Amino acid sequence: MKDDDVGWMRLDDTLTLGTPTLVETRSSSKTKTKAKAKASTSRKRSNHITLEDLWRENKERKSKQQRRSRVSQKADGSSSGTDDAEEEEDDSVNKIKSQITNLEKESFPIDEKASLQKWGEKVFYQQTPLETSIDLSEDWLQSDPEKEPATEGLLLRGLLHSLAIAEGRCDERTIRRVFYQMIESPNELLEIAACHFLCDLLTLQRADCKPACRFEWFPTSAEIMKIFRSYGYRRVSSGSVTSRSYIAALKSVSEPASKSGELEGPPPNIRSFVTFLESLFQTRHLHQTLSASEAADLVVTLVHCQMDRCLEALNPSFQSCLTALVHYFSEEEWAASRLRIATSLSCLSTDPLNQVWVAKTLHAGDSRLCALQKSVVILLLGRSVQRDLKTEADVVSVFKSQDMKRRNYDFLNLYLQLTLADMYLWSEPRLKKGGFVHGDWIDFMKRVTACVPGSDERPHATKVRSSMASSAAHQRTKIW
């Protein structure tokens, strides 16, 4: 028994004494494994830069710069350091200015004609009082002069509309009063209410396609033009004048002398006035108020009004009104009037850039406006090359003899001509792929890219190249 007890104790001592050695061996192996893992992860992290590393480096760089600036200020004084920094900044500015001056001397000179200005010209000048036979200060429905005028009160509350529908007619005196409130009233709520009243009654019709309210008065073409002139609009009469006389007359129109107290440009009421005209033009089957010649003059007026950049925000309203007006013509009237309208539109401005803008304005996804645009474009392009152009072959032939390698070549004129030709050719259904006209046009586009490199420094040369590139892309995507 003793031996067994002693043997058990020896075994226990052996296990007890051996246990720390095993634990130390295992712990050391684990420590080595962790160290290797940390070393490998540090190597992996060193290969990747995170936002935290960039932020830390930036912070350390700023702290080093601050320490250096403090040391330099202590050594040399803060004032001398600031003066040196200012001198270095002045030297760098002078170097940049000298470099810019040298580059300007080496580059090609660009004259005033070559600089591409923005489109637009002044059309609206000082407003003038509108002479009317309606006294808006009096109201024949008003019994008590101290209260609100009855007509305006009924109009603002919508009751005047109900009364007109119930009666089935609207007398001339009421229509005139509401109409002149729309075009002259400084009260915006009254102006909008008058516009809604007139437009709604104009377009409202019964089940038998007859007007629900019979109007006893409509503004004539002369009265419409008188309102535009009172808003400050100035243009010579278009009529059936020739191009040369029209341009001479346009040059003779000078800006009226401004007087103290007169307002410049149209009033805000012009928005409601154009909206009313759109409703009037859309209801020819109900109310025929204009002749074909009067409607043709109004087409030119609406396009000309858009040339004034003060009305740029109202261009969508003018475009909707213009679309309604060109559909006011019957088929026979439109066929007879289109060329005369195109001639007048092509003579609205002597500036080539404005002429191109007029042609662009006419295309609004409408068949009649597209046909009118083509007529204007071929007139403008023929006038620029002093030739009589009639077909797409004539248009393409304009660009066959262009020598674009000359140093003083007028790329601005070519760019405007290409813009006009592009508007005409891609809307021409007779220009078929594979024809000789189409081939000549493709050859010209290739010649432009060959003669005008992307680094060409001549004025507007790269603009011509990019224009031809977009035209070629359009040609590739167009379904013939």
Write the pLDDT tens digit of every residue in 336-392.
999 999 999 999 998 888 999 999 988 767 889 999 999 999 999 999 888 888 888
For the cut 90, the answer to whether the pLDDT of residue 288 exceeds it is: no
Which pLDDT band holds residue 33 (cuts at 50, 70, 90)? low
Mean pLDDT (the chain) is 76
Report which residue type is found at 255: E
For the cut 70, the answer to whether the pLDDT of residue 134 exceeds it is: no
For the residues of 328-378, what is the DSSP string, one character each?
TS-HHHHHHHHHHHHHHHHTS-S-HHHHHHHHHHT-SS-HHHHHHHHHHHH
Q: Supply the pLDDT for residue 296.
A: 95
Q: What are phi and psi of 398, to 5 degrees?
A: -60, -30
In terms of phi and psi (left: phi > 0; alpha: psi -120 to 50; beta: otherwise), the region of 403 is beta
Q: Supply the pLDDT for residue 358.
A: 92
Task: Count the alpha carbons within 13 Å of 159 in the hemisphere toward its beta carbon.
Answer: 6
253-254-258 Cα angle (round to 5) = 140
Is-contact 172 134, C-beta < 8 A? no
For the cut 90, the answer to whether the pLDDT of residue 227 exceeds it is: yes
Q: What percent of the chain has pLDDT over 70?
A: 68
CA distance 373 to 338: 10
Is-contact 242 383, C-beta < 8 A? no
What residues are paired with 169 via a beta bridge?
214
For the cut 80, the answer to whether the pLDDT of residue 394 exceeds it is: yes
Q: How far is CA 303 from CA 306, 320, 346, 350, 357, in A?
A: 5, 12, 11, 15, 10
Average pLDDT rounded to a whole number, residues 252-278: 73
Instruction: Record the pTM.
Output: 0.68
CA distance 422 to 173: 52
Higher-confidence position of 9 and 47: 47
Is-contact 322 315, C-beta < 8 A? no
For the cut 60, the answer to whether the pLDDT of residue 241 exceeds it is: no
Which is nearest to 193 in space by CA: 299, 269, 82? 269
Question: Can you list the alpha helix ranges (DSSP code H) found in 48-110?
Answer: 51-76, 78-106
Domain map (residue ranges) of the chain: 120-370, 390-480
Is-contact 421 399, C-beta < 8 A? yes
Which pLDDT band holds residue 48 (cuts at 50, 70, 90)? low
Average pLDDT rounded to a whole number, residues 403-408: 76
Cβ neighbours for 232, distance < 8 A, ≥ 6 positions apart = 124, 125, 126, 127, 128, 263, 264, 265, 266
Give first-to-last CA distance, the chain, whole Å.
115
| Tokens read off for 116 | 């591409």
Is-contact 217 134, C-beta < 8 A? no
What's the count of helices (H) and strands (E) in the chain, helices before strands? 19, 2
For the cut 80, the answer to whether the pLDDT of residue 257 exceeds it is: no
Helix (H, G, I), strand (E, B) or coil at 214: strand
Cβ neighbours for 251, distance < 8 A, ≥ 6 positions apart = 350
- Give the CA radius of gyration of the chain: 40
CA distance 169 to 211: 10
Average pLDDT rounded to a whole number, residues 417-421: 88
For the cut 50, the answer to whether the pLDDT of residue 242 exceeds it is: no
For the cut 60, the answer to whether the pLDDT of residue 195 exceeds it is: yes
Helix (H, G, I), strand (E, B) or coil at 64: helix
Which pLDDT band holds residue 151 (cuts at 50, 70, 90)? confident
Buried b (16+ CB within 10 A) or exposed e, 384-393: eeeeebeebe
